[in-house]
Amino acid sequence: MNVMVRGKLRHFRTVDFDAAGNAVVLIEQRLLPHRFQRVWMGNYQETASAIRDMVVRGAGAIGATAAYGLAQGARAFPGKGLPSFERHLDRVHQVLASARPTAVDPVNALVEVRKAMSGGRTVERQQELALEAAFEFGDRNVDECRTIGRLGAHLIGNGMTVLTHCNAGWLAFVDVGTATAPIYQARQEGRDFTVLCDETRPRCQGATLTAWELAQQGVRHAVIADNAAGALMQQGRVDLVIVGTDRVLARTGHVVNKIGTYTKAVLAHRHGVPFYVAAPVSTLDWTTQDWRAIPIEERSQDEVLGAWGATPGGRSRYIRIANPGSPALNPGFDVTPPELVTGIITPAGILKPSELPHTK
């Protein structure tokens, strides 16, 4: 998408790769919306840390970052022997896969790159194939998001108010985004509407990232407190909900997304508001059959007990909000059951959860 940087409108991808420097190039999302900055991860350990510490976040974006990270680790191997190269790849794979355990995109991306590499008979050829596969994963992520936008745009009519939760925009993917893709497409087609951005405590990705994105793209929007959504639905002031997802169980239709998504789905169901989930193919989990087996990331208490902001001078600062000495619980994700989901917007069409293919 396009970003205004030093007075000039420029196109950026959330995740990119510098082949000459063997570096993964990311937008430092923790600085947004106050500062736009790109950072270079010099080795796969730094790339894994960027995923874990949320320099980069969002299902497709961390999937692409993991794919590039695997290629980066493969290209850094100095030897020629395939057995030692395979052991090295196993280490790289494990470090990247464990960085964010709830999202399935990184695992799918890593498996895809490893499969592509298996066609090479030398270390050098496998290194080449790794980078080719990583670029292919990123490009396909963008293509699928564009398709989701074309298929979902008709859901948004003139004068509607659309609610979204967290950030499933281009910052959460390589470009375009999933939940935002129909929004951007409908805007491009000339329709006039308003987007409500849940603030999405505790990290406030809706207030900081989605609102920043929509402002950059000229889409009318407003930030609301997470607890305001129910009252606005009750008043008839929300026409549609579109969210992204970090994992969809293909066999059952359960949707894993940022904490608070389940709450919005319950409220939408109670008030008869359509609730849609936008999901690329890489977000489908083809193996897990029981949603209770999904690893739900438990993040730092500090995210709940305080908040990050910017000083008047633009410097980031953390401030404690909660009572001193009080602990917090901080699950990063929740699970929405399929009966609360109106439809899942996929590159293959808008499907009911029960219509998802169970196998690739």
The CATH number given to whatever domain includes residue 63 is: 1.20.120.420
What CATH number is associated with residue 298?
3.40.50.10470
Whether 168 and 242 map to the same domain: the answer is yes
195 and 304: one domain? yes
Both 157 and 259 in a single domain?
yes
**Which helix (H) or strand (E) is 69 found in, with range?**
helix 59-75
End residue of a domain, out of 92, 118, 145 = 145
> Length of the chain, please?
360
* Amino acid of residue 294: I
The CA distances from residue 285 to 29, 110, 273, 288, 359, in Å, are: 26, 14, 27, 6, 9
Only one residue has tokens 């009318």, namely: 220
Same domain, 187 and 230: yes
In a domain, 313, yes or no: yes
What does the alpha-carbon distance between residue 319 and residue 308 come to, in Å, rounded to a whole number? 6
Same domain, 135 and 220: no
| Calpha distance 351→360 (Å, rounded) | 16
Q: What is the C-alpha separation between 101 and 99, in angstroms, rounded?
A: 6
Distance CA 311, CA 344 (A): 40
Q: Is residue 267 part of a domain?
A: yes
In a domain, 48, yes or no: yes
pLDDT at residue 310, rounded to an integer: 85
Q: Are residues 128 and 222 in the same domain?
A: no
The residues annotated as belonging to the active site are: 246
Asked if residue 360 is part of any domain, the answer here is: no
pTM exceeds 0.85: yes
Please tell me the predicted confidence (pLDDT) of residue 358.
81
Domain ends where: 104, 123, 145?
A: 145
Domain interval for residue 261: 152-355
Cα separation, 312 vs 61, whole angstroms: 30
129 and 156, same domain (yes or no): no
List the pLDDT tens digit at each of the 360 positions of the chain. 888 888 888 899 999 999 999 999 999 999 999 999 999 999 999 999 999 999 999 999 999 999 999 999 999 999 999 999 999 999 999 999 999 999 899 999 999 999 999 999 999 999 999 999 999 999 999 999 999 999 999 999 999 999 999 999 999 999 999 999 999 999 999 999 999 999 999 999 999 999 999 999 999 999 999 999 999 999 999 999 999 999 999 999 999 999 999 999 999 999 999 999 999 999 999 999 999 999 999 999 999 999 988 888 778 899 999 999 999 999 999 999 999 999 999 999 999 999 999 877
Residue 125's closest CA among 66, 96, 85, 97? 85
As for how many domains the chain has, the answer is 2
Round the CA-based radius of gyration of the chain to a whole number and report it.
20
Q: Say yes or no: 160 and 134 in one domain.
A: no
In Å, what is the CA distance from 51 to each residue of 1, 97, 212? 21, 10, 21
Same domain, 231 and 114: no
Three-state DSSP at 86 gives helix
Distance CA 100, CA 117 (A): 23
- In what helix (H) or strand (E) does residue 10 lie, and over which residues does it extend? strand 8-11
The residue out of 101, 127, 145 marking a domain boundary is 145
Residue 169 lies in a domain: yes
Let me know if residue 212 belongs to a domain: yes
Whole-number Å distance between alpha carbons of 172 and 58: 4
Peptide bond connecting 33 to the previous residue in cis, omega within 30 degrees of 0: yes
pLDDT at 1: 82
- Identify the pLDDT of residue 2: 85
